[in-house]
Amino acid sequence: MKPQTLRLKNFGPFIDETIDFSKLTQAALFLITGKTGAGKTTIFDGMTYALFGETSGRLRSGKEMRSLFATPENETSVFFSFEHQQLRYEVERKPEQLLAKRKGEGMRKQAAKVSLTIFDEKGKEIRQLTKRSEVDQEIKELLNLDAKQFSQIVLLPQGEFRNFLISSSSEKETVLRNLFGTQFFQRFTEQLKEKAKNKQKELDHLEQELVLLQRQFSSYEEKQPAGLQSFETVINEWKEYQDQVSTRLASEQEVLEQLKEEQKISETDYYHGKNQKSAYEEKQQLLAEQQVLNEQQQVIEEHQRWISHYEVAQQLRTPLERSQEYQESLTTQESEKQQLIIACNKVTSDLQKWQEQADVRENLEQKIAKMSQTLQEKQRLIPVADTFREKQSELSVMEKKVSELQQEIQQLADQQFILQERQQTSQTVLATQGELQEKQLVYERLRLEGERYCEQQQHLDHLDKELVKNHQYFEQTTEQLVEKQRLLEQQTHEFNQCKSDWAKQQITYLQTLLIPGEPCPVCGATEHPLTPDNRESVQENLAVLEEKMVQAEQSIEKTHQEIGRKEAEIEEINQQLARLSQQQVETSQQLDQQAIYLNTELKAIFQIDVQEDIVQGLAEIEKNLNARLKEIKKAEEAQVRVMEELASNKEQSEQIKAQQMLHNEKIQRLQGEMAGLSQQLGAEDLDTLVKEADQLAEQSSKSKQELEEQMAQGEKLQQESAVLTTKIEALTEQIEKTTAQYEKEQRKISSFLAQHTDFSSQEAIAALLKETVTYENRKTTIKEYQTKQLVLSTRLEQLEHVTYDEKSQDLTVLSERIEKIKQHIEEQQQLIYHLQQEYKTNQKVIMEFTTSYQNSQEQLDELIQLQQLSQTMNGENPKKTSIERYVLQVYLQEVLQVANEHLIRLTKSRYQFELDEEVGSYRGKTGLEINVYDDEAGTTRGSHTLSGGESFIAALSLALALAEVIQAQAGGITIEALFIDEGFGSLDEEALEMAMEALETVESEGRMIGIISHVRELKERVLQQIRIDTKGSGQSEIRYHFG
């Protein structure tokens, strides 16, 4: 793929700029230069966006790349053309963006668009694709790369590859993992490790369960088994114990049945005696109650006589009550009749007075007719006057609205002026966005460098701590070695003493074996003072000493071994200290180089000197960039709001002017209508007409009301007179009927008293009949007495033959015997229940123990396999290499083979890359370390020992190789363009010279190489240049410079 043309319209800081790569034909090497923030990297962003729809670093989306200087009418678009295999491809993309409406005011959202056109070698169009999915698929099939891989191949950030070259294996692993996609191996090994960890937890849990289950098993002696015994031993002991429990359970069940039978016999005897005693006691109680009832017989008979007398008197209850009612009714009726007669006389007098006022009522009727005629005339003119007033009020409202609309028009004009000033302010802020975007990209790259710097600083701190820790451990181990040597001397002395004591006892023992009179082979004496009786004690002393000698020899041997281990450990610590010291020196050198590079870049781009604290300087830059980003974002939002408010302001102004015109027309029409109404009214005024009409209406209403009240009063008096007369006549007739009924009831009462001479008078009977409560109580008492008599007689007949002998049946003895049997039964049941629960629990424990043991054996087999596999795959092996790092070794070896082709050519066969196969002190330094073989010195050395220019050439070779390998693996086309972003600012004059020679060598291979840099020396060396100039507003323009 060979780039031809790139056109950026309203993209980043560019309004409408075109880069014609076909003009760069004098040499394949060209320079893209300009101030920081001018938009150098935006050119590459444009190519990436045209091909893949995203920027190179994925830091900004397409719609975020829309230029802040673009007018609402102009679109943002990127056009990119390139050649491949005699075919020309043209791709154009437009991001989602807000544009002005084609018709009317306001903004519209335009969706993202893309098109791809393919031409043959004669320039004839072959086909065109306009759907995003089709275009993306076509480019993917053509390049066989995604945006990230394209950026890795075409854009080489030199500083990153220098850091990669000297980074540790762990750091290289992180970078290569992202490039070659080996995350699967990382996840796989982590999952294996986690699975083995979880399996170990499961096994530990099962072993704890086995111990707990052994403790849960109840033995007959209530003793727990000591420790975790073998599975077969535990199971056999448990089964034997369960058989013993089962046998005892059957025996205890037989004892329980015997106790229950004894309880049944005793309870039968007890309840029989208890029932006999209860019946006898009941009979005695009933006889006593019968005696009490007999004593109440006379009172009951007296009550019965009184009740009979009361019931005879009840025959006169109704006549007495009716006579009383009639007498009270006569009194009420006579009183009511007198009141009616008085009222009737008053009504008759009032009616006569009303009839005498007939002339007054006639005059009032004539007055009411005259007022009604005058009122009708006034009411006819009121609607005309009311309409005139409404028109007058409406005219006033219209004139007021016209005045208010004029004020609103003036306010909108003032507001439009303010909005235009705000728009100008926002555009001034947005003019700095292009520069800010470029600085963001530069900052992001430097931030990553800063993070690596911090990581190396932390690694150096870790090395310092490790050195201190190892020195302390060395001193501690040395002290332990001295202590062990002192202990060895003491143990050796004790062993020699013990050996001497043993020899003495051995001589003594041998003396007991000599024949009396024979010379001793040791001392030559013929007399032996020891007797054979002392032989046993000597033999015992010898046995004790021999055991002490064996123990002393074992202690000495153990101390010798410990001393050997300590000496080996000291030797290993010395080697470790040497390695750590070397690492400390190397890391310190790397930190110095990194700090120089970061200080140079920050000073050149951000004019900040951070010699003391690089991290703090980067944080301050990030804080400033974020603050400016927020300011620009606010300005963007403010600009959109201002444009919308301006459009709304204009639309409101036009609407108000139209309303003002309509109101003026309505005012003219109202003035004409009011002139006609004024002629009809003459001198009359609406308020006067309404007031006079209201007064006439009120007077007429009062007069009518007065007349109606007088007429109603006459009718009411006539009606009341007739009603009162009727009521008096009816009440007189009712009094006569009530008198007759009262006399009839009095005759009945007199007849009853004549027949029953035991009642003295009518009042005595009435007094007796009031004793209703006494009557009911005495009836209830008699009924209860008769009921008790019947119950006692019946029950006594049933208990007639009941007798009881307390001496022959002692219930207390029987009760105590039953309670003792119950207690024995309860104790026996508890014992049986305890044995059953123990048996059941033990059976459950046996089953769970068997299952858990089988599971633990299976888990143990799986754990051993998992641990072996996990340790091997995670690098816990002699090579200290994980499966992922092994795969990355293969990839890196392939990259180094390709890189050596470039490095040998660029260094004239002096240097070659070599993958360090030596196993490091720890896994982080093993597997991916890169060394450089120096042919002139005939030795291999670390890549961090290369000078500035040499490290640039090595990093360039590595970057080119990595791009070629990724491109080859992706299976894509050959990309004949290469962009190198910065990386030259930290090189001295000699290193820069070496770098340029290397680039010229790569250029001779036919690749187009673009250097993105602001370094002054490159402007003097590179003849073909694309210069990006910035205006004061922040816009950028592209111009060509040929030396």
Q: Where are the domains of the chain?
A: 2-144+974-1042, 358-431+626-677, 433-611
Nearest by Cα to 1012 from 624, 432, 605, 629: 605
Query: Do 651 and 635 form a contact (C-beta atoms < 8 A)?
Result: no
| Span 855-907, pLDDT tens digits | 877 777 877 887 777 777 776 666 677 777 788 888 888 888 988 888 888 78
The predicted pLDDT at position 94 comes to: 92
pLDDT band of residue 221 (cuts 50, 70, 90) is: very low
Q: Is the pLDDT of residue 1031 over 60?
A: yes
- Which of 339-348, 693-702, 738-747, 920-929 has the lowest average pLDDT? 920-929
Residue tagged 């003396």 (tokens): 511
Q: Is the pLDDT of residue 637 over 70?
A: yes
| Span 815-846, pLDDT tens digits | 888 888 888 988 888 888 888 888 888 888 88
The predicted pLDDT at position 518 comes to: 66
> Is CATH 2.60.40.650 what the domain over 433-611 is classified as, yes or no?
no
DSSP category for residue 66: B
Helices (H) and strands (E) in the chain, counts: 21, 17
Query: Do 866 and 220 form a contact (C-beta atoms < 8 A)?
Result: no
Nearest by Cα to 667 from 383, 392, 387: 392
Q: Is the pLDDT of residue 639 over 90?
A: no
DSSP notation for 100-117? E-SSSSSEEEEPPEEEEE
Token output for 154: 């075409």
Average pLDDT over residues 687-716: 78
The predicted pLDDT at position 59 comes to: 58
Average pLDDT over residues 519-529: 61
Looking at this protein, which amino acid is placed at residue 776?
A: E
What is the pairing mode between strands 107-110 and 113-119? unpaired
| 863 CB neighbour count, 10 Å cutoff | 20
CA atoms within 13 A on the CB side of 576: 19
Query: Do 73 and 80 form a contact (C-beta atoms < 8 A)?
Result: no
pLDDT band of residue 77 (cuts 50, 70, 90) is: very high
pLDDT band of residue 534 (cuts 50, 70, 90) is: low
Token output for 970: 């992706």
Largest CA distance in the chain: 196
Query: Do 116 and 139 form a contact (C-beta atoms < 8 A)?
Result: yes
Average pLDDT over residues 497-515: 69
Per the CATH hierarchy, to which homologous superfamily does domain 2-144+974-1042 belong? P-loop containing nucleotide triphosphate hydrolases (3.40.50.300)
What is the pairing mode between strands 1008-1012 and 977-981? parallel
Sign of CA dihedral 294, 298, 299, 302: positive
User: Distances in Å between the alpha carbon of 240 and those of 234, 235, 285, 493, 986?
Assistant: 10, 9, 67, 56, 87
Nearest by Cα to 637 from 787, 457, 460, 423: 423
Average pLDDT over residues 651-662: 82
- Taking the C-alpha atoms of residue 703 and residue 700, their distance in angstroms, rounded to an integer, is 5
Query: Do 118 and 124 form a contact (C-beta atoms < 8 A)?
Result: no
Structure-model confidence comparison of residues 62 and 761, the more confident one: 761
Average pLDDT over residues 451-462: 73
The predicted pLDDT at position 226 comes to: 44
- Taking the C-alpha atoms of residue 90 and residue 6, their distance in angstroms, rounded to an integer, is 10
Query: Do 888 and 180 form a contact (C-beta atoms < 8 A)?
Result: yes
Looking at this protein, which amino acid is placed at residue 398?
A: M
| 710 CB neighbour count, 10 Å cutoff | 15
* Residue 527 CB partners (closer than 8 Å, separation 6+): none
pLDDT band of residue 227 (cuts 50, 70, 90) is: very low
DSSP category for residue 910: S
Task: Determine phi and psi for 419, rounding to 5 degrees.
Answer: -60, -40
- Which of 124-133, 364-373, 602-611, 773-782 has the lowest average pLDDT? 602-611
- Taking the C-alpha atoms of residue 422 and residue 426, their distance in angstroms, rounded to an integer, is 6
What is the pairing mode between strands 29-34 and 1024-1030? parallel
Question: What average pLDDT is seen over the chain?
Answer: 78
Looking at this protein, which amino acid is placed at residue 269?
A: D
pLDDT band of residue 9 (cuts 50, 70, 90) is: very high
Q: Is the pLDDT of residue 612 over 60?
A: no
Structure-model confidence comparison of residues 324 and 804, the more confident one: 324
The predicted pLDDT at position 517 comes to: 62
DSSP notation for 633-688? HHHHHHHHHHHHHHHHHHHHHHHHHHHHHHHHHHHHHHHHHHHHHHHHHTT--HHH
| Span 954-989, pLDDT tens digits | 887 887 787 778 767 765 556 677 777 755 655 667
pLDDT band of residue 586 (cuts 50, 70, 90) is: confident
- 234: β partners: none
Alpha carbon 113 to its chain's center = 39
Looking at this protein, which amino acid is placed at residue 10?
A: N
Alpha carbon 649 to its chain's center = 46
Query: Do 20 and 1007 form a contact (C-beta atoms < 8 A)?
Result: no
Token output for 479: 């002290």
Token output for 575: 């080697």
Q: Is the pLDDT of residue 781 over 80?
A: yes
| Span 981-1014, pLDDT tens digits | 755 655 667 666 777 777 776 665 666 788 887 7
- Would you call 449 exposed, middle or buried from its count of C-beta atoms within 10 A (0-12, 13-18, 19+)? buried
3-state secondary structure of 710: helix
Would you mind telling me the total number of residues written for the chain in this entry? Answer: 1043
pLDDT band of residue 119 (cuts 50, 70, 90) is: very high
The predicted pLDDT at position 118 comes to: 93
Average pLDDT over residues 162-187: 75
The predicted pLDDT at position 923 comes to: 57
The predicted pLDDT at position 829 comes to: 87
